[in-house]
Structure 1
């Protein structure tokens, strides 16, 4: 069911607008993350099921396939470990960043009425 992911990406994108209209910022933040995930999975499915990363317009023999464009085994293993270590750090930083900046600045609180 590869058609499910583009529909889910569109639905989560539409739900961002709805969540912002209802002033549900946390829900809008979560839906924007899901939109990115579903859109990325859609691109991966499109590349994987087709079997060609870059089809040639001159001759099909010149097309780039997944096997021809993949890195060596050592590079893939290394990048898997790097991703496994740093991806949770990046996600944790984003969650902390959202927690720090979760409230909007209000004019009567931020010193805007004092001239700076």
Structure 2
């Protein structure tokens, strides 16, 4: 995939996540929120020529960015996105918690977009 494709997918997934949440489907909202974050991280990794095929590669990209001195909030916001991924399997979060995490994902995307 190309960088613009990852970026477009990221925004599309975040929009879908919010729609799923509005319909009361916290599991699907969670998974799409995670997907939105992962796709934008992949865009940044692709731009830099870094591996991004696995969950581990995606985490490594976020760590490398914070090690480079980019906003330290990247790590915290990405953890929130990763929690959404876990919530897809467990479905334990209340809708308000999923909404808060989706807001974190939106902030993460805003921080990452200029780096791609």
TM-score (norm. length: structure 2): 0.43
| Higher relative strand content | 1
| Higher relative helix content | 2
Select the structure of larger CA radius of gyration: 1
TM-score (norm. length: structure 1): 0.43
Larger relative contact order (CA 8 Å, sep ≥ 6):
2
